[in-house]
Amino acid sequence: MTLTDTRGTTVVTDRAVRRIAGQLLGGKVGAKVTGEHVTLDAELSVTYPNSVAAATDRVRADLARDVAELTGLTVDRVDITVVSLDGGRGERRIE
């Protein structure tokens, strides 16, 4: 028996990715892991009058990069729902 015969596999669960992405974003994130690929669904508040498109593009790119780096999974898609335009007093703001 060689070392490679006794190695196991590491499985990264939906819950683990959800928690990692949620900590990165500071908000609610859903995750669906299929093999070595993941799809994320995030909820985000954007501070008015910032561009919603620019904020979501930035969050999408940052979240995909960071989740991939921390989990070793390929992030196929990041869907973002803007749940509110904040006047500057909310907790989860992108400026």
Residue 81: which CATH number?
Answer: 3.30.70.1350
Contact (CB, 8 A) for 94 and 42: no
Work out how many domains the chain is built from and give that number.
Answer: 1
Is residue 48 in a domain? yes
Q: Which whole number is the average pLDDT over 3-31?
A: 90
pTM above 0.95, yes or no: no
Q: State pLDDT tens for residues 37-62.
A: 999 999 999 998 999 999 999 999 99
Residue 43, pLDDT score: 96
Contact (CB, 8 A) for 90 and 44: no
Is residue 2 in a domain? no
Residues whose CB falls within 8 Å of the CB of residue 62, separated by 6 or more in sequence, listed in order = 24
Residues whose CB falls within 8 Å of the CB of residue 95, separated by 6 or more in sequence, listed in order = 47, 50
pLDDT over 70 for what percent of the chain? 86
Is residue 94 in a domain? no
Is residue 82 in a domain? yes
Question: Whole-angstrom Cα distance, residue 24 to residue 14?
Answer: 15
- Indicate if the pLDDT at residue 31 is higher than 70: yes
Mean pLDDT across the chain, nearest whole number? 90
